Structure 1
Amino acid sequence: MENNISADCIFNLPLPPLINAIEVYTVIEFPQVETSQNDVAAIKNIQATYQLRKISWQGDPCLPRDFSWENLGCNYTDASTPPRITSLDLSKSRLTGSITPILQNLTQLQELDLSNNSLTGPIPTFLANMKSLSLLNLIENNLTGSVPQALLDRKKEGLVLKLEGNLNLCTLSSCKPKEKTKFLLPTIASAASLVVVVVVAFIFVFLKKKVPLDLNTLPSTATVDGRHASQSESSFLSKKIRFTYTEVQAMTNNLERALGEGGFGVVYHGCVNGNQQVAVKLLSQSSSQGYKHFKAEVELLMRVHHINLVSLVGYCDEGENLALIYEYMPNGDLKQQLSGKRGRFSLSWENRLRIAVDAALGLEYLHIGCKPPIVHRDIKSTNILLDQNFQAKLADFGLSRSFPTGNETHVSTFVAGTPGYLDPEYYQTNWLTEKSDIYSFGIVLLELISNRPIIQPSREKPHLVDWISFMITNGDITNIVDPQLHQNYDIGSVWKAIEIAMSCVSPSSTGRPNMSRVANDLKECLMSEKSRVGESQDMESQSSMYNSRDITEVSPKAR
């Protein structure tokens, strides 16, 4: 029997036709390492500051080359060197507000075009400190004031500086509003008279009521960074020992002995009152950190006190001369100790666990013992200092932020921190929580265990977290632990420490423990190691690198 099915019959079937297909995927290798994390953080902060809505601004700014971000140029040295951002064109991008200081974090930027926007305020001096900058286009904005002399000097050296179209901008560094000067002295005199009358009235009323007058409640007239400061800005100025710059020069013997250098500036050795050793950190004029970070650190260290936080001895706030004066930490920072730059001794496993416990207790105090809680935001091995007894103390609080209480779960803020230690969830969402500190602490703990670089492009897995995860999968713990320990450790405590660290660096903040849990677990590791070595009653035995301390700490108290 012959089956004849007409075309009309096919189209009248109850089910639609089926089309089968095969999806084929191919792996595309990208031999080039990712863009410099400092540049990535900077450009994303710039994007957030100006609320830029550019479709192409997603993923890695410079890679792949054919899909790099629009209006952004990069240089590509070789496959093992991270690309750097060298040009940024934000012309006609509807920018408003002032020129953001985040731009100076693009340290390799050669060309910057901010023309045809609605930017206001003065031209900031930091632009002159961007050494790689060869073109600066500020045409057609609403900038005011005079051009900084340092920028005019750069123009003489070859910088292409375009300023046309800013009607209220004076292109001479000597510009001064002469018409207003004749009114300046009468205005000051009137204001001063008013202040005197108010103060006298206050004194009269309080004396009449026999109520003691607290002079600290009077309005402040301190000048901060060349501007009139509000009471909230200058309230910290009288609460701690304040040194003049002449005194700073004297205590450091004219800045004779440099101890190191960081993002803030150079740290010098000094001596106060003839016998108290101090570390004096001077703000560098080219530093990306300014008065805001300086003030934040002074105020925080006056408010919080803990045995595992570095103590502030005083500060200097005199014009452009800013200095923080700390207790001296003779054994440097943890990074130096692990690298062997501070002496021939290698930290034992017990020593490393003690340092980890100390740092954990300092962080626990910030997160739990302070009201409101504080997030450090820059936990790393160079910010963990060691005193004469190798007791660890957290330092560098310029980026610290108070954490919300109540129903709020996070702070939305610009990303800040150090590449490698930076919480990837915070980096992606700009949501800051105390779990961001815990991620960074987990990286430090992996450093203590392995003594290996955080990021090493030549390694099979460049980031330390990925590399250790790979080694754990293969069960190869001996190659994780620092060879300088010569397998002189309790294997159980090492495994537990690795587990603690890996829980801290969980990709999701919800999977990370709190700092109290971390501190308690590390104490257990330390007790296990002490049991192995059979610690004697003499807590200052000759074989110990520093005085042993009881690991049971009092719970942190709120300040």
Structure 2
Amino acid sequence: MSKMPLYFRKLGLPLIFLSLLSIPFCVISQGQATDELTVLLNLKQQWGNPPALQSWTSSTATPCGWPEINCTGGAVTGLLLRDMNITEPIPPSICDLKNLTQLDLSWNYIPGGFPRALYNCSKLQILDLSQNYFVGPIPSDIDRLSGLNYLDVGGNNFSGNIPAEIGRLSGLQTLNLYQNQFNGTFPKEIGDLVNLEVLEMAYNEFVPAMIPPEFGQLKKLTFLWMKQCNLIGGIPESFSNLSSLEHLDLSGNALTGGIPGSLFSLQNLSYMYLFHNELSGELPTSISSMNLIKIDLAMNNLTGSIPEDFGKLQSLSLLNLYWNQLSGHIPVSIAQLPLLRYFRVFGNKLSGVLPPEFGLYSPLEAFEISANKLSGELPKTLCTNGVLLGVVAYSNNLGGQVPESLGNCNTLRTVQLYNNNFSGELPLGIWTLFNLSSLMVSQNSFSGGLPSKLAWNLSRVEISNNKFSGPIPTEASSWSSLAVLKASNNLFSGNVPEELTSLSRLIILSMDGNQLSGELPSKIISWKSLTTLNFSKNMLSGQIPAAIGSLPHLLDLDLSDNQFSGVIPPELVKLRLTTLNLSSNRLVGRIPDGFNNLVYENSFLSNPDLCADDPMPNIRSCYTRSSKSNKVPSKYLALILVLVIAMFLAAVLFSLFVIREYRRKKLRHDLATWKLTSFQRLGFTEASILSNLTDNTLIGSGGSGKVYRVAVNDLGDYVAVKRIWNNRKLDWRQEKEFAAEVEILGSIRHSNIVKLLCCISSENSKLLVYEYMENQSLDKWLHKNKRALTSRGNSPRRAVLDWPMRLQIAIGAAQGLGYMHHDCSPPIIHRDVKSSNILLDFQFKAKVADFGLAKMLAKHGESHTMSAVAGSFGYFAPEYAYSTRVNEKIDVYSFGVVLLELVTGRQANSGDENTSLTEWAWQHYGEGKPIADALDEEIKEPCNVDEMATVFKLALVCTSRSPSTRPSMKEVLHILQQCSPSERCGGKKVGPEFDFMPLLGSSTYLSSYRRSRKADDSLVYSV
């Protein structure tokens, strides 16, 4: 079945049978069979003898027994050559097979333009060229293939317009044009194809256009797929004539207006996807169809209330309305639908109480209502049918007690009720639900204690900011799967039991803000995975256990505001701590040498008996001078020493005077040839720049010049100077790079784009002066520097960028690129996006830099042909291999590689032994391996794995083979902003939980870095 051509599955055997009947029956002579055998063997040779065709040999009398050949009456009528690793063009001799009606060449690597040689195949009815490397336009004389009833050219690189002449192929029943690089128009004449049943045009960047009303003439159409086609305007009223339509997908466009009520009169419609458009207006108030199964209107700008008529859709199983601006209440009728499985309305402005019947009449699996203004209690019947997987209701005004029925719902995997007004005790059964993996109920008013037993799979428990009380159970050693325990700001009391230290999978333990007392266990048995330990603001006493210093992955240690005494264990110095806080205790003695620096200046406050060998703010000095430790040198030795120093200084001053005079004369001569062009208000002159371009100020070099760090005043302010200077006249390429960078950076202003202060030029030298980025480039942090970089003011820096910092860097760079693509007129393509061209200031704010290869487009949406491939290996978009036509999507691809670097920690050119990072990531995903295994182990934590996995998937979408399937930078930025670090990672989560977040776009090339339409939605939902 895996080798069965797509059209067999699409059209079925009846069409093939009718096709065969159309061939006149005749007896084929032995001579004709020999001729066809010769033609096929020549084809094999012209294609370079692919290994998959080894069975084609001259030893057989007829080719009709070969598995790739279909014959009728002894004549060859079909070539089924799907996925045969063919890499050469189609030979014209293929049409010497005079009776050929079927030709399937899909999933190969065939290059070149549309094969006009096939025009001579006069009986051709089924043509499948999908998933190849065809380029150029569809020819305007394509109607010469007049006998076609099936045409599939999807998954190629065709561009330009779709010709109007395609509407003359009157016999077409299937027309597949999906996932190409069409950047022109599509014709209204497609509406003339009155026999058309399947029309697939998705993932093409057509010129913005409305759906032609003529498409309403396609009365036999059952399947219409126009996702991400740059559609604008409204849905035509003529669609009410599509009486046979079963599947309608217009998602990912820019449609406006309301949804016509006539659309819901399509009695056969089973699927309707309109998500991620820019629809505005209210939802229709009248819906008459009873056959709708799935409705997805998510990620739009819909307003108004949810129509009551949704409750009439008795076949409805999925209702996605999330990320809109809907208001009002949730209709009771929706809760009474008999087949509803997925209900997602998060991220709206809904209010009122929840209908109490949810789950009573339907097999409800996903109930996601977070980030609204809903009040009242949770329905008690959510799990009546025993299939509920998740309750995601955080950030509402819900209250009362959690229904006892949820404590008996063994299918539950996640319960997320944080940031509400719930009270009382959690149902005891919730803690031990068989499939539960995460329980997140922080920021409520829950009471009760911790149970002695947890579910075997429960890995995340977040109960902070409640009223839980009592001791930590000694049975805690049975919580074997627990990785995150966040129980801050509750009323827990008693000792910390030694059994808690046996949890080998524990990564985050936060028990701060409670009433715990006694000593911490001195023997830490199994906390080898722990990265965060926080017992601050308790009443703990005794000495700090030295065993904490043996925890290999500990990054954050906070024991402040307790009653710890004794010395600071020197073993703690072995840790690679990001944060350390031992303030407000009763510690004594010397601060260990490894902590005796300004990085930890606030780590030991309010410990009066602590002292430091080196000066530290608010810490007394341990140093006492001994009068016997130094002898006064003799007066003669002192006199000799003074004389030697005086002579040395005189020589140095004389040398400096001579050198300065020489430089002044040379500089006065040189300045006459320099020209300064400023783009900002400057506090320096060209003289102060030119005089400091020395080896001592050199900080980097690249293919087009060197970069210097130059001080411009005595206050510690610096600029970065890029010097394009080879002691000879610049060649045309360097002149072009210089002109491009000055033209672009001198005209744009954005906080995430490096600021060009001025340019200084002479006849044979070019200097670009930028604001200085203290923390240099992103690639040095990810790949070169694993230790802290020295920055201005000697402020502390992370040895390794943690996930929240990496995500903010990604958002900042996306904002800069999004400004270039969407807010500049004309838009700007960078053409060399990579981690070394993303610079970081002293606050680690990301700024896009190095525009030497950028190209300003003359017209939005219009690509330009470049004379040569530019950019950096590992970041090239694949279309560079066969085309030099560029648009914004090449930046999206390169940015996708940067995202992969951020989440995996790998370099762009070192994905694996023989692959790039992109190929490695796609292979990892395509083989079904867990995404978590691909993430950077240095920063991966249970609280951020979901966000990192989402960015990993987004990176895959950005690095799709076909540019048309890649999202825009505006869409990329939107997804990244929704990934902002959650409250459980120290941030504040305001968006929907990503366990159930639909990811932008679709996957591309899941197998062998290529893709089929069947796999299209494999990245749409992340569960």
Normalised TM-score (structure 1): 0.52
SS in 2 for 1:278: strand
Residue type matched to 1:467 in 2?
W
Structure with larger RCO (C-alpha < 8 A, sep 6+): 1
Q: In structure 2, do the counterparts of structure 1 residues 348 and 239 end up closer, same or farther at CA, with 3 Å as the change threshold?
A: closer
Q: Matches of residues 388-407 of structure 1 in structure 2 within 5 Å?
A: 388-405=842-859
Q: State which of 985, 997, 1000 in structure 2 corresponds to 1:533.
A: 985
Alpha carbons 2:827, 2:860 under 8 Å: kept = no
Matched, 1:16 2:29: yes
Partner of 2:562: none
Q: In structure 2, do the counterparts of structure 1 residues 502 and 406 end up closer, same or farther at CA, with 3 Å as the change threshold?
A: closer
Matched, 1:319 2:759: no
Q: In structure 2, do the counterparts of structure 1 residues 390 and 246 end up closer, same or farther at CA, with 3 Å as the change threshold?
A: same
Partner of 1:264: 704
The percent identity for this pair of structures is: 34
1:483 deviation in Å?
A: 1.8
SS in 2 for 1:325: strand
Deviations 1:335-382 (A, max 9, x none): 001125273411111111110000000000000110000000100000
Residue type matched to 1:265 in 2?
G
Matched, 1:465 2:923: no
Residue type matched to 2:987 in 1?
E
Alpha carbons 1:349, 1:489 under 8 Å: kept = no
Deviations 1:135-185 (A, max 9, x none): xxxxxxxxxxxxxxxxxxxxxxxxxxxxxxxxxxxxxxxxxxxxxxxxxxx
Higher gyration radius (CA): 2
Residue type matched to 1:347 in 2?
L
Deviations 1:162-217 (A, max 9, x none): xxxxxxxxxxxxxxxxxxxxxxxxxxxxxxxxxxxxxxxxxxxxxxxxxxxxxxxx
CA distance in 1, matches of 2:706, 2:913: 36
Alpha carbons 1:377, 1:436 under 8 Å: kept = yes
Partner of 1:455: 909
Alpha carbons 1:331, 1:342 under 8 Å: kept = no
Alpha carbons 1:280, 1:325 under 8 Å: kept = yes
Residue type matched to 2:752 in 1?
N
Matched, 1:360 2:832: no
SS in 2 for 1:290: helix
Residue type matched to 1:533 in 2?
C
1:409 deviation in Å?
A: 4.2
CA distance in 2, matches of 1:383, 1:330: 14
CA distance in 1, matches of 2:678, 2:709: 25
Q: State which of 934, 939, 953 in structure 2 corresponds to 1:480.
A: 934
Partner of 2:328: none
Alpha carbons 1:443, 1:505 under 8 Å: kept = yes
Matched, 1:278 2:719: yes
Residue type matched to 1:308 in 2?
N
Residue type matched to 2:51 in 1?
T
Partner of 2:877: 423
Alpha carbons 1:329, 1:388 under 8 Å: kept = yes
Partner of 1:432: 886
Q: In structure 2, do the counterparts of structure 1 residues 26 and 493 end up closer, same or farther at CA, with 3 Å as the change threshold?
A: same
1:270 deviation in Å?
A: 0.8
CA distance in 2, matches of 1:292, 1:306: 23
Deviations 1:10-59 (A, max 9, x none): xxx8433334689774389xxxxxxxxxxxxxxxxxxxxxxxxxxxxxx9
CA distance in 2, matches of 1:363, 1:438: 9
Residue type matched to 1:278 in 2?
V
1:239 deviation in Å?
A: 5.5
1:493 deviation in Å?
A: 1.1
Alpha carbons 2:958, 2:967 under 8 Å: kept = yes
SS in 2 for 1:259: strand
1:295 deviation in Å?
A: 2.2
Q: Matches of residues 116-195 of structure 1 in structure 2 within 5 Å?
A: none
Q: Matched residue pairs, number?
A: 317
SS in 2 for 1:261: strand
Matched, 1:26 2:478: no
Alpha carbons 2:679, 2:756 under 8 Å: kept = no
1:241 deviation in Å?
A: 7.2
Matched, 1:248 2:261: no
1:488 deviation in Å?
A: 5.2
Residue type matched to 2:734 in 1?
G
Matched, 1:333 2:777: yes
Q: State which of 730, 734, 752 in structure 2 corresponds to 1:308.
A: 752
Alpha carbons 1:413, 1:432 under 8 Å: kept = no
1:535 deviation in Å?
A: 2.7
SS in 2 for 1:304: coil
Partner of 2:202: none
Q: In structure 2, do the counterparts of structure 1 residues 486 and 498 end up closer, same or farther at CA, with 3 Å as the change threshold?
A: closer
Residue type matched to 1:250 in 2?
S
CA distance in 2, matches of 1:438, 1:414: 20
Alpha carbons 1:245, 1:321 under 8 Å: kept = no
Alpha carbons 1:251, 1:272 under 8 Å: kept = no
Q: In structure 2, do the counterparts of structure 1 residues 489 and 396 end up closer, same or farther at CA, with 3 Å as the change threshold?
A: farther
Q: Which has the higher helix share?
A: 1
SS in 2 for 1:485: coil
SS in 2 for 1:351: helix
SS in 2 for 1:314: strand
Deviations 1:389-441 (A, max 9, x none): 00000000111111232673444442211111011113421101000110110
Alpha carbons 1:375, 1:433 under 8 Å: kept = yes
SS in 2 for 1:393: strand
CA distance in 1, matches of 2:900, 2:800: 16
Consecutive unaligned residues of structure 2, counting only runs of 5 or more, are 1-25, 54-132, 134-674, 789-798, 990-1023
CA distance in 1, matches of 2:854, 2:766: 19
Q: In structure 2, do the counterparts of structure 1 residues 319 and 412 end up closer, same or farther at CA, with 3 Å as the change threshold?
A: closer
CA distance in 2, matches of 1:406, 1:297: 20
1:249 deviation in Å?
A: 3.0
